[in-house]
Chains A and B, each alone.
Chain A
């Protein structure tokens, strides 16, 4: 509601009240990279919506444009067509959502705690308060005792958890996570999937998530968007109404995986 009204009310406050308005919405996003020999079309009119506190997953073939779409949603790239809406308002999302890049972006010269409070520093919030909050999260998420460790002293799974804690510490409601569990071994990955699902439920953030892993999508999402090869379009939107926590061996999850795979292959 009240989409046309030119209010500049805080989108976060609005999202808490208006449950029917998506926290994040992308409408008809088209994007092309300029290359020396012309344009490389990457996004061909992608639309999607994530309700407040919801979890939407993007899945699609490698190179189809998932990272590009997240960068548009983060405001790092300006779409040629379409718009990004936060809580129903068309906005420049730069600074209003949190983007977690696909690559490892921990600052090697900062200890774990220093990395966790990065967003607070950018925002000019109190560091002491951020540190206290981070300590709390470290404790809850099994990193207690490693506050003073430098990234190179942490295992791959711990680094990834730290990057996620940093993302969750950002005081923004919408999180854009680009394959946060991509570079991990199967065991660590399974553990972190469960961990991530718990954290997300506890913190009530809105998540747009990218993965290559069909099972991961089935385990974590409220809604799955299957994308076509580049230039990306949405080929299927699959709502997921399974109770949590989900069991990766349950019939529903296995069935959902098969469904996603069918859509992926139909266009591959």
Chain B
């Protein structure tokens, strides 16, 4: 516990140091605020623009939430299809991997062309990005269930539906959640890219617009909002994970085990 506080204190000191250097450096060197505003100015803008930031953040969050939901449904669906229909899984696998070689950002303009300037191109970019870590993780999770466990249930006369509900689903939940942790962060980045390319709402749109007006302080305020959003999203998934997987040995315990090995 004390150690954890010490670690956090270290990070806080480092952050404070960087911010002070930034503040002093910018002021001493006389860098104009439309190139690099000092942190205090960014903070002032952040609070002054808070209603604006919040309304755009809400738009971004909606895209991310929808995109994640789609990504989870598609990822879990493909993983299940691949698991229960091995030929389908084998046929899909190279495409799933290849799809990751195409940067989703590169096809974002096409999505805007096809789906217009509304919410959907962003949702689809977010979903495409979140899909991969979720599909791959859930597939691994379904495969990780031991044969003995399945034998035990089958010997009791369990049908596959029961094996799935009693064993495969809970066993792959940790895998789904770690896929979701990666997916959620990536989906946020995906939504922002979508907003850069076209649209009227969202933090990405706000950044592009502020940039064009040389309101660099507002760009930074949007970045700050975005960071908070990302941290919140990740913490949200991590918290859900802590609660859903509360049966797992404590993190502290795992930590000491690793150190002693």
Partner of B155, one of A99, A110, A150: A99
In the complex the two chains form, what is the Cα distance from A99 to B28 in whole Å?
78
Near B by CB (< 8 A), chain A positions 214-251 give none
A130 at interface (Cβ–Cβ under 8 A)? Answer: no
Chain B residue at smallest Cβ distance from A77: B151
In the complex the two chains form, what is the Cα distance from A97 to B148 in whole Å?
16
Interface string of B243-261 (1 = CB under 8 A from A): 0010111000000000000
Which 3 residue pairs across A and B have the least CB separation, nearest first? A95-B157, A99-B155, A101-B148
Near B by CB (< 8 A), chain A positions 97-133 give 97-103, 105, 107-111, 118-119, 121-123
Chain B residue at smallest Cβ distance from A74: B155
Near B by CB (< 8 A), chain A positions 118-163 give 118-119, 121-123, 150, 152
In the complex the two chains form, what is the Cα distance from A100 to B156 in whole Å?
10
Partner of A95, one of B149, B156, B247: B156
Near A by CB (< 8 A), chain B positions 220-253 give 245, 247-249
Interface string of A65-102 (1 = CB under 8 A from B): 00000010011100000000000000000111111111
Near A by CB (< 8 A), chain B positions 113-168 give 146, 148-149, 151-158, 162, 166-167
B109 at interface (Cβ–Cβ under 8 A)? Answer: no
B170 at interface (Cβ–Cβ under 8 A)? Answer: yes
Contact assessment for B151 and A122 in the assembled complex, using a CB-CB cutoff below 8 Å: no
Contact assessment for B170 and A76 in the assembled complex, using a CB-CB cutoff below 8 Å: no
A211 at interface (Cβ–Cβ under 8 A)? Answer: no
Complex contacts, B173 vs chain A, CB 8 Å: 109
Contact assessment for A102 and B247 in the assembled complex, using a CB-CB cutoff below 8 Å: no
Complex contacts, A96 vs chain B, CB 8 Å: 157
Task: Report the interface size for chain A: residues with CB under 8 A from the other chain.
Answer: 29
Interface of chain A, main secondary structure: loop
Complex contacts, B166 vs chain A, CB 8 Å: 107, 118, 121-122
In the complex the two chains form, what is the Cα distance from A98 to B154 in whole Å?
10
Task: Report the interface size for chain B: residues with CB under 8 A from the other chain.
Answer: 21
Interface residues of B (CB under 8 A from A): 146, 148-149, 151-158, 162, 166-167, 170-171, 173, 245, 247-249
What are 25 contact pairs spanning A and B, CB under 8 A?
Answer: A75-B155, A76-B151, A76-B154, A95-B155, A95-B158, A96-B157, A98-B155, A98-B156, A99-B151, A99-B152, A100-B152, A101-B148, A101-B149, A101-B151, A102-B148, A103-B146, A105-B149, A107-B149, A107-B166, A108-B247, A108-B248, A109-B171, A110-B247, A122-B156, A122-B162
Contact assessment for B146 and A122 in the assembled complex, using a CB-CB cutoff below 8 Å: no
Contact assessment for B170 and A107 in the assembled complex, using a CB-CB cutoff below 8 Å: yes
Chain B residue at smallest Cβ distance from A71: B151
Complex contacts, B146 vs chain A, CB 8 Å: 103, 105
Chain B's nearest CB lies how many Å from the CB of A268? 27
Complex contacts, A100 vs chain B, CB 8 Å: 152
Complex contacts, A122 vs chain B, CB 8 Å: 153, 156-158, 162, 166
Complex contacts, A101 vs chain B, CB 8 Å: 148-149, 151-152
Partner of A107, one of B151, B167, B245, B249: B167
Chain A residue at smallest Cβ distance from B149: A105
Chain A's nearest CB lies how many Å from the CB of B114? 42
Complex contacts, A105 vs chain B, CB 8 Å: 146, 148-149, 152
A206 at interface (Cβ–Cβ under 8 A)? Answer: no
Query: A96-B157, A122-B158, A123-B157 in contact; A109/B152 too (CB < 8 A)?
Result: no
Chain B's nearest CB lies how many Å from the CB of A2? 25
Contact assessment for B155 and A94 in the assembled complex, using a CB-CB cutoff below 8 Å: yes
